[in-house]
Amino acid sequence: MESNQYVQFFDGGIEPKLETLGGKGASLVIMTSAGMPVPPGFVVTTAAFDEFMAAAGIIQEIHDLLDGLDPEDVAQVEKVSAGIRADICSKPVPEGLRAQTLAAYEALMGRFDTPVPVAVRSSATAEDLPDASFAGQQDTYLWLEGAKAVTEHIRQCWASLFTSRAILYRLKNSIPNEGLSMAVVVQKMVNSKVSGVAMTLDPANGDRSKITIDSSYGVGEMVVSGQVTPDNILLDKVTLAVVSEHLGDKHAELVPDRSAHTLVEREVEEERRARRSLNDAELAAVAAMAKRAEKHYKCPQDIEWALDADLPDGENLLLLQSRPETVHSSKPAAPKAATGGWAAALGATGAGQAPAGGTQAGGTPAGGTSAGAGGFSLGSITASLLKASI
User: CA dist 119 to 47, 149, 308, 328, 376, Å?
Assistant: 21, 11, 15, 30, 9
- The candidate with the shortest Cα–Cα distance to 269, out of 259, 287, 255, is 255
pLDDT at 55: 97
Q: Stretch 147-162: mean pLDDT, rounded?
A: 96
- 7-188 shares its CATH topology with 192-362: no
How many whole angstroms separate alpha carbon 63 and alpha carbon 162? Answer: 11
Mean pLDDT estimate for the chain: 84
Share of the chain above pLDDT 90, in %: 71
- Kindly report the pTM of this predicted structure: 0.82
Residue 131 has pLDDT above 60, yes or no: no
| Cβ-based burial of 260 (10 A; exposed 0-12, middle 13-18, buried ≥19) | exposed
Q: Stretch 313-339: mean pLDDT, rounded?
A: 72
Sheet containing strand 375-377, strands side by side: 7-9, 41-44, 182-188, 118-124, 140-144, 375-377, 370-372
* pLDDT per residue as tens digits for the range 195-230: 999 999 999 999 999 999 999 999 998 998 889 999
Q: E strands, 218-336, where?
A: 231-236, 242-246, 252-257, 262-267, 301-308, 317-324
pLDDT at 139: 86
How many whole angstroms separate alpha carbon 141 and alpha carbon 54? Answer: 25
Assign 126 a pLDDT band (cuts: 50, 70, 90).
Answer: low
pLDDT at 366: 33
Four-way CATH pick for 7-188: 3.90.25.10, 3.40.50.11240, 3.40.50.150, 3.30.1490.20: 3.30.1490.20
pLDDT at 138: 75
Domain ranges of the chain: 7-188, 192-362
CATH number of the domain located at residue range(s) 192-362 in this protein: 3.30.470.20
How many whole angstroms separate alpha carbon 36 and alpha carbon 317? Answer: 10
Q: Stretch 333-356: mean pLDDT, rounded?
A: 36
Residue 337 has pLDDT above 50, yes or no: no
Share of the chain above pLDDT 70, in %: 81
Cα–chain center distance at 256: 18
pLDDT at 359: 30
